[in-house]
Every structure is written in C-alpha cells, then in structure tokens.
C-alpha cells in the first residue's frame, strides 16, 4: 500500500511539473492531455487515472498552492491581528519563491483566469478576516468597507508578486515585504516622496 501511495504521489508530481512547464512555454489553450502525458513520460491512461482533464489538473495545482500557503500562514494570523507585522506577506513571498513556476502560471491567468480568480478570492477572504480581527483587537473602526479594503490590498500585492516572479525575483522576500509594509503603514503619498500631509479634499 505504501509503495502504491508513493507511486501515485510520484505520478501526480510528474504530471503537475510537466503541465506547469508546458503552460509557461505554450499557454493553456495550446496544451493537450497528450502533451502533458508525453512530457511527463507517462501514458494517457495514467493521466486519466488521476485527473478527468486538464481543467482538473489546473484546479489541483491551485489547491496545492493554497493549502500549503494556508498551512504556512496559520501561525502568523494571530500576531497579524494584533498589528502590522508583515509576516503573512513575507511567508507568501517565500512560498512563491519556492514554487515560482506554479505561481507564475496562476498569476498569469492561465485557464481563462479561473486559477487567478480562485487565488485572489482566497487571499481576499483571508485579508478581510485579518483586517476585521485587527480592528476589533485595537478597538478601532474601519474607515472603508472591509471587502473594498481587502480587495485593494490583495490586488496590489498580487500585482507586485507577479512582477517580482516574472522579473526573476530582483529583491529578497524580506526587502519586498519591507517595502509593501512601508506602503501599507505610510501610504502612497509618502511613497511618492512627500513628507507633509496630503492636501485636504475640496
């Protein structure tokens, strides 16, 4: 049984690695099940023994990323609810560095954007939870609807993450996290070079 389990895990890993590599080379629409099986050096029957089609394989890639990310982020959730620590962002960038190709597939919107929408929805829900808990812990009221706040933060982070991965990770995860934390704490006005307060709205 253990040998069979190892064989199953190995076959799935080979299929996922072949799939991700092909997507980066050709794009989702141009990749077939036959291509994936051939690249993985497995039969089509083996592919269909694990996945119903390439949509199911893409879903599996996203599920694996999200579940591993959630596992890694869980210890940081409580501390983040108490203040801006940057730890969840740092863990996300570290995980993305380890799984660079899979993240690039997701963030490029392969598969008609389905994977990216799912990833973004997961991160938005997690951010909204943290923002709500942080406000409650600090005894403050959010000035913007939590959904808008979470979407703005996640959209910004996803764009930076995509750029960072596509450019070959030009900064360390720690450096890019520090910059995003400064942006979050001080705002775009400060980041644009101004030291005083922004002008009042008319």
Whether the per-residue pLDDT at 75 is higher than 80: the answer is no
User: What domains lie within the chain, and their CATH numbers?
Assistant: 1-51 (1.10.10.60), 58-186 (1.10.357.10)
Write down the pLDDT at residue 168. 96
Query: pTM of the prediction?
Result: 0.88
- Residues 152, 98: contact at Cβ < 8 Å? no
- Reported as a single tens digit per residue, the pLDDT across 139-196 is 999 999 999 999 999 999 999 999 999 999 999 999 999 999 888 888 888 888 987 6
- Reported as a single tens digit per residue, the pLDDT across 124-151 is 998 898 899 889 888 999 999 999 999 9
Give the integer Cα–Cα distance in Å for 14 and 68.
18
- Reported as a single tens digit per residue, the pLDDT across 9-68 is 999 999 999 999 999 999 999 999 999 999 999 999 999 999 999 999 999 999 999 999
DSSP states along 91-106: HHHHHHHHTHHHHHHH
Tokens for 8, please give them: 């199953």
Q: CA of 134: how far to CAs of 84, 91, 137, 176, in Å?
A: 9, 19, 5, 23
């Amino acid at each position: 049984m253990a040998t069979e389990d190892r064989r199953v895990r190995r076959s799935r890993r080979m299929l996922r690695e072949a799939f991700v590599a092909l997507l980066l080379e050709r794009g989702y629409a141009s990749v077939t099940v036959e291509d994936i099986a051939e690249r993985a050096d497995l039969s089509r029957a083996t592919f269909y023994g694990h996945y119903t089609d390439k949509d199911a394989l893409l879903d599996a890639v996203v599920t694996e990323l999200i579940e591993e990310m959630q596992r890694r982020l869980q210890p940081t959730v409580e501390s983040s609810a108490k203040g801006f620590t940057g730890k969840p962002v740092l863990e996300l960038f570290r995980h993305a560095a380890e799984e660079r190709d899979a993240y690039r597939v997701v963030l490029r919107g392969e598969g008609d954007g389905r994977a990216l929408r799912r990833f973004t929805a997961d991160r938005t829900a997690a951010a909204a939870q943290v923002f709500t808990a942080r406000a409650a812990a600090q005894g403050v009221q959010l000035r913007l609807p939590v959904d808008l706040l979470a979407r703005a933060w996640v959209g910004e982070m996803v764009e930076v993450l995509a750029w960072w991965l596509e450019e070959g990770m030009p900064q360390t995860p720690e450096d890019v996290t520090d910059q995003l934390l400064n942006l979050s704490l001080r705002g775009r006005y400060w980041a644009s070079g101004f030291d005083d307060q922004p002008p009042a709205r008319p």
